[in-house]
Amino acid sequence: MKNRRILVIEDDAAIRRGVVDALRFAHYETLEADNGAKGLEMALRREFDLLLLDLVLPGPDGLEILAQVRAVRPALPVIVLTARGAESDRLKGLGGGADDYVVKPFSVKELLARIEAVLRRSAERPIDVNRVMFAGGVADIARLEVRYDGGGRAELTDREAELLRYLAANPGRAVSREEILARVWRIEAHGLDTRTIDMHIARLREKLRDDAASPSVIVTVRGKGYAFASPGGEQ
């Protein structure tokens, strides 16, 4: 079974190193950031299973990061780490969407127990889209094929299927090319030519019989990326 990956956003080097070492010893994979700007970028673009988030950070603070993460991944497990122990601060973190709140200083055993508990009860897993309905047919992700109403079919490549699955799991949201590279291709997008995304979108539209001149299934959001907008929705 693949090890869970945890993103740690904490500006205190000693605390961050202690947390990362403890997580690795407990067989978690880790990502880490030492400021709000880097942490926010990683939180929005990288793949991971749980976020450990300090509230007081240089750059965007923890509450700002939490708000933006929740807008993109509304059910991602998040545990807030902070020296703030006041009830009002705990309520702000929980009210912002955190699943749990750990006040510094904390023991490694306590932190690991909280992580395990949040992962157990969390409902967040990437939406498992198995079939994508569109006007004129259905795309079967598992079978890697598109079936048209009235007969006929087309094959999907693995990459095309994963791209369609990701877009359909985020219906109505503009997904940037950089996010697609990070989440579907699993590579960092900085400085890379993103035209490969456009080529895959063009092939998907062709297989979905989506008019390239006026698409209605995978629409182009100018200046942002692509959005899944099929009237048939997903199942």
CB 56, CB 29: distance < 8 Å: no
Please state the rounded mean pLDDT for residues 222-233. 76
Q: Examine the pLDDT at 11 and tell me if it is beyond 80.
A: yes
Q: Report residue 233's pLDDT band, with 50, 70 and 90 as the boundaries.
A: very low
Per-residue pLDDT tens over the stretch 52-68: 999 889 999 999 999 88
**Reported pTM:** 0.56
CA 191 to chain centre: 21
CA distance 140 to 136: 13
Q: Model confidence over 118-155: pLDDT tens digits?
A: 888 764 444 557 888 898 899 998 889 999 998 999 99
The mean pLDDT of the chain is 85
- Percent of the chain clearing pLDDT 70 (strictly above): 86
Looking at per-residue pLDDT, the higher value among 78 and 233 belongs to 78
Pairing of strands 5-9, 50-54: parallel
pLDDT range class, residue 235, cuts 50, 70, 90: very low
- CA distance readout (Å), 58 to 12, 65, 134, 146, 162: 11, 12, 45, 48, 36
| Structural domains of the chain sorted by starting position, each given as residue range(s) with its CATH number in brackets | 5-121 (3.40.50.2300), 131-228 (1.10.10.10)
Residue 80 has pLDDT above 50, yes or no: yes
